[in-house]
Amino acid sequence: QPSNGGAKAGAVKTTTDDAQNGNGSQVGGNGNAWSPSSWQSKPMKQSVSYDDEKAVEKALKKLESLPPLVTAAEVSKLRANLEEVALGKAFLLQGGDCAELFDYCTEEKISAKVKLLLQMSMVLIWGGNIPVVRIGRMAGQYAKPRSSMTEIVDGKEVPSFRGDIINGFDLSERTPDPARLVSAYYHSATTLNFLRGQLSSGFADLHHPFEWTLSHVQSSETKEKYQAIVNSITDTIRFMHTIGADTSSSLGTVDLYTSHEGLLLEYEQGLTRLLRDPTDGNKSKWYATSAHFIWIGDRTRQLDCAHVEFFRGIENPIGIKVGPTMRGEELAKLLDIVNPNKEIGKVTLITRYGADKVNELLPGHIEAVVQAGHTVDYKLTIQCSYRNTRSAPTGVKTRQFDNIMIELSNAHNIHQKCGTHLGGVHLELTADAVTECVGGSENLTDDDLSLNYTTYCDPRLNNKQALEAAFMIAAWYRE
Binding-site members for Mn(2+) are 98, 428, 458
Using CB under 6 A, which residues numbered 245 to 304 contact ligand PEP? Answer: 261, 297-299
Q: What share of the chain is helix, strand, coil (3-state, %, to 5)?
A: 40, 15, 45
Does position 460 interact with ligand PEP (CB under 6 A)? The reply is: no
State which residue has the least CB distance to ligand PEP.
297
Provide the minimum distance between the beta carbon of 323 and ligand PEP in the complex, in angstroms, as a whole number.
6
Does position 440 interact with ligand PEP (CB under 6 A)? The reply is: no
Q: With respect to ligand PEP, which residue has the nearer C-beta, 84 or 261?
A: 261
Q: With respect to ligand PEP, which residue has the nearer C-beta, 180 or 299?
A: 299
* Binding flags for ligand PEP, 124-163, as an x/- string (CB under 6 A): --------------------xx------------------
Instruction: Give the integer Cα–Cα distance in Å for 203 and 198.
Output: 5
Report angle CA 252, 258, 263 to the nearest 5 degrees.
Answer: 175
Provide the minimum distance between the beta carbon of 275 and ligand PEP in the complex, in angstroms, as a whole number.
27
Using CB under 6 A, which residues numbered 96 to 115 contact ligand PEP? Answer: 98
> Which residue type is seen at 317?
P
Does position 321 interact with ligand PEP (CB under 6 A)? The reply is: yes
Instruction: Give the integer Cα–Cα distance in Å for 123 and 110.
Output: 20
Q: Is 153 helix (H, G, I), strand (E, B) or coil?
A: strand
Report CA-CA distances (Å) from 352 to 20, 349, 385, 404.
Answer: 23, 10, 5, 10
Provide the minimum distance between the beta carbon of 141 and ligand PEP in the complex, in angstroms, as a whole number.
7
Does position 464 interact with ligand PEP (CB under 6 A)? The reply is: no
Instruction: Give the integer Cα–Cα distance in Å for 436 and 447.
Output: 11
Q: With respect to ligand PEP, which residue has the nearer C-beta, 162 or 273?
A: 162
| Nearest by Cα to 40 from 208, 270, 350 | 270
Instruction: Give the integer Cα–Cα distance in Å for 416 and 217.
Output: 30
Numbered residues of the known binding site: 98, 137, 321, 352, 428, 458
Q: With respect to ligand PEP, which residue has the nearer C-beta, 37 or 94?
A: 94
Runs of H (alpha helix) within 244-380: 249-252, 265-270, 306-311, 328-338, 358-371
Q: With respect to ligand PEP, which residue has the nearer C-beta, 37 or 388?
A: 388
Provide the minimum distance between the beta carbon of 338 and ligand PEP in the complex, in angstroms, as a whole number.
16
Does position 324 interact with ligand PEP (CB under 6 A)? The reply is: no
Instruction: Give the integer Cα–Cα distance in Å for 442 and 423.
Output: 28
* Binding flags for ligand PEP, 339-358, as an x/- string (CB under 6 A): -------------x------
Provide the minimum distance between the beta carbon of 346 and ligand PEP in the complex, in angstroms, as a whole number.
19
Q: With respect to ligand PEP, which residue has the nearer C-beta, 4 or 455?
A: 455
Numbered residues of the known binding site for phosphoenolpyruvate: 137, 321, 352
Q: With respect to ligand PEP, which residue has the nearer C-beta, 83 or 432?
A: 432
Neighbours of 171 (CB within 10 A): 12
Provide the minimum distance between the beta carbon of 45 and ligand PEP in the complex, in angstroms, as a whole number.
11
Helical (H) or strand (E) element with 172: none
Sequence-ordered list of residues with C-beta below 8 angstroms from that of 180, at least 6 positions apart, any chain? 164, 165, 166, 167
Instruction: Give the integer Cα–Cα distance in Å for 458 and 206.
Output: 32
Q: DSSP strand E in 289-400: where?
A: 293-296, 318-322, 347-351, 381-384, 389-391, 397-400
* Binding flags for ligand PEP, 386-425, as an x/- string (CB under 6 A): ----------------------------------------
Q: Which residues form the interface with ligand PEP (CB under 6 A)? A: 98, 144-145, 261, 297-299, 321, 323, 352
